[in-house]
Amino acid sequence: MDGQTKAAPHHFIEALFKKIGFPNLEAYLKLDKYEHVKLDDDAAILWCSIIFRNQTPFMNDFNLHYRVFSSHGQIISNFDIINMSPISPQNIKLSGDYTNEKVAKVIYYGNWVDSRFKILLSREELHAWNYSLDLRIQFGAKHSPMKICVSSSDRRNHKTQSTRSHH
Average pLDDT per block of 10 residues along the chain, 167 residues long: 62 61 88 79 84 89 91 78 51 68 89 90 81 88 88 49 39
In a domain, 13, yes or no: no
pLDDT score, position 57: 87
In a domain, 113, yes or no: yes
The domain that holds 125 is classified in CATH as: 2.60.40
Can you tell me the distance from the alpha carbon of 123 to that of 112, in angstroms, rounded to the nearest whole number?
A: 33
Residues in the chain, how many?
167
pLDDT score, position 167: 39
In a domain, 151, yes or no: yes
In a domain, 15, yes or no: no
Nearest to 53, CA basis, from 97, 100, 103: 103
In a domain, 12, yes or no: no
Number of domains in the chain: 1
Residue-number span of the structural domain to which 97 is assigned: 23-166
In a domain, 161, yes or no: yes
pLDDT score, position 166: 40
Nearest to 133, CA basis, from 83, 76, 87, 68: 68
In a domain, 70, yes or no: yes
